[in-house]
Amino acid sequence: MEHTTVIVKKKVKMSNPVLIEGLPGIGLVGKIAAEYLIKEKKAERIAILYSPHFPHQVVMQKNGVVRMLKMKFYHAKAGGRDMLILVGDVQAATSEAQYEVTGKILDYFQSQKGRQIITLGGYGTGKAPPQPKVFGAATHKKIIPRYSKGGVAFGQTRGGIIGAAGLLLGLGRVRGMHGICLMGETHGGYVDPKSAQAVLLALGKILGIKIDVAALAQKADAGEKFIRKMEAEAKKQGELAIEGGAQPAPRDLSYIR
């Protein structure tokens, strides 16, 4: 247990599964999207990942019980496809730890004969977009056309994709896998359910499955008003505080857990 370990809770026979990753990151876009997808598709938790590279603490819960920090794999079937959805409390903090954890995730995915990876995240622009675009970045040039559905824009983003959303693609490619990172346009300075909604809609089109985003849209609308207000205040005061990438979701998002 003192190494990064995947503990399989339930063995599921999958056929050509797609890995969908949504760990904490910019605007919590990927995390919100993946956790919503788990709820919407009634996905089942089938495996857990622990790592000594996660913070050395346990979380106290309302029911008086402690729990380890972890990542979780959920399984769902949609549109005839097996989906393996990865969510979690944290990302590892150092380069070496990120490579190790990503490697363990890919080992498990490989043991399920998986080859396609879609990672979800936010692309921070410093501005609150009225209608968030969805950007894509792929492992191979030739696969871009089949992902360009639903308005996903390739080649319009610059810089690095930091953490698991990037490394799963980079290390996955070395193992013969392929896929993309779907990035929702977002401010970067606050939690953004609206951007997560845009990402989910694009994901649904890509996978050819229906994802009912009604509940998330409702929350996003409520959130947007709050965000506009925050932004207006921030303009007065100078600069928005940037929320760190690898943090557990704040309390007000607990509804989607």
Binding site for a second copy (CB under 8 A): 1-2, 7, 50, 52-60, 62-68, 93-96, 98-100, 102-103, 136-141, 144, 154-155, 157-163, 166-167, 169-171, 173-175, 181
Judged by beta carbon, residue 105 or residue 213, the one nearer a second copy is: 105
Cβ at position 21, least distance to a second copy in Å: 13
Cβ nearer to a second copy, comparing 137 with 227: 137
Q: Are 42 and 76 contacting, i.e. CB atoms less than 8 angstroms apart?
A: yes
Q: State the minimum distance, in angstroms, from the CB of residue 27 to a second copy.
A: 17
Which of 78/92 has CB closer to a second copy?
92
Shortest separation between residue 20's beta carbon and a second copy, angstroms:
17
Residue among 32, 5, 12 nearest 182 (CA): 32
CA distances from 97 to 51, 91, 230 (A): 9, 9, 35
Q: How far apart are the first and last CA of the chain?
A: 25
Residue 2: CB minimum distance to a second copy, A:
4
SS3 76: strand
Give which of 101, 233, 227, 206 is closest to 164, Cα–Cα: 101
**Closer residue to a second copy, CB minimum distance, 36 or 108:** 108
> Least CB distance from residue 13 to a second copy, whole Å?
26
**Residue whose CB is less far from a second copy, 52 or 208:** 52
Would you state the structure tokens that stand for residue 191, as one six-digit string? 């939690």
Sorted by sequence, the CB contacts under 8 Å of residue 126 that are 6+ apart come out as 187, 188, 189
Minimum Å distance from CB 54 to a second copy?
Answer: 7
- Contact yes or no for 88/20 (Cβ under 8 A): no
Residues 58, 66 contacting (CB under 8 angstroms): yes
Name the nearest CA neighbour of 97 among 140, 142, 49: 49
Smaller CB distance to a second copy: residue 58 or 242? 58
